[in-house]
Amino acid sequence: MGLIVIPKQHGAWSILIASFILGASLGGKFGIESILLLAAVLSVFLGRYAASEYFKLSVSLSARKNLLAWFAPLGGLAFFLAIFLLGATLLVIKYRRWFLIPLGSVSLAITALSLYLAKKGKDLTFVGEITNILGLSLVAPAAEYTSRGVYSLRTFGLWLLCFFFFAGSVFRVRYLNRKRLEAGGEFYERLKAGMSSLLFHITAFLITFGLARKNVLPSLAPLVLAPINLRVFWSVGRRYKNPIPIRTIGYIELFHTLVFLALAMMVYLPRG
């Protein structure tokens, strides 16, 4: 095992990359500040994975006999911590991105909670997945603020929009994967199995609509969530005779992420 291990968490990577691209693009300026933030974000993401690997080894009797197995995740964690501290210090002290202090504090607290859940073997539970998405979606407002240098209510709105979309993926994937038997049943069974997903997506859409009326979000922001809401209604309404392979579900989610990214940019970027 090397010091740097790339996690094979495709969903987490897509959230991180999409959130950064969206936030940096809407900020209007991609400079050294954005590069430093990206380095800091990646160091936290990879460092969190190294720490979770360390916790897994800490409960393994066989791994305790292998000092190299212990050193690898600890060395990786120290390496990423150094990068994070360097990038964060430069952003706050040199480039005066002071709002990153409270934003980063919240992010680190969520990361700590995520590690606690991982240590307990609960990182793949509903709470564990939502916690991870809560932290990763903060990359969008952080990138927007770092690029623009100014914080506003729309920065908060951008995070909420990202969270709604990516948190919804937990419901969507669980319905098609973990409730695949119900997804192939009668309409009542499908409705019962997909009710939590339907309620979440409807609630997210209504909140987005309300925030758009209050100018926290752009006026057309609800349209960003419209395609995925239609997808959820269609999934529950359709009877799946054969279960959808998990790889195919992943491709479907990737496609919707690209649609979300494109629509969000169209809605947020100034027209004229």
Residue 135 is part of a domain; what is its CATH number? 1.10.357.140
Over residues 174-205, the pLDDT tens digits come to 988 888 888 888 888 889 999 999 999 999 99
Distance between CA atoms of residues 217 and 160, nearest Å: 9
Which is nearest to 142 in space by CA: 260, 24, 53, 9? Answer: 24
- 152 Cβ contact list (under 8 Å, min separation 6): none
Q: What is the pTM of this model?
A: 0.86
Over residues 199-244, the pLDDT tens digits come to 999 999 999 999 999 888 999 999 999 999 999 999 998 888 888 8
Cβ count within 10 A of residue 43: 21
Distances (CA, A) of 96 to 20, 86, 90, 123: 20, 14, 8, 35
If asked whether residues 131 and 164 sit together in one domain, one would say no
Please count the structural domains in the chain.
2
| Phi, psi angles (nearest 5°) of residue 269 | -70, 140
Domain, as residue range, for 127: 1-150
Q: Please state at what angle helix 153-177 crosses helix 222-237, rounded to 10 degrees.
A: 10
If asked whether residues 174 and 163 sit together in one domain, one would say yes
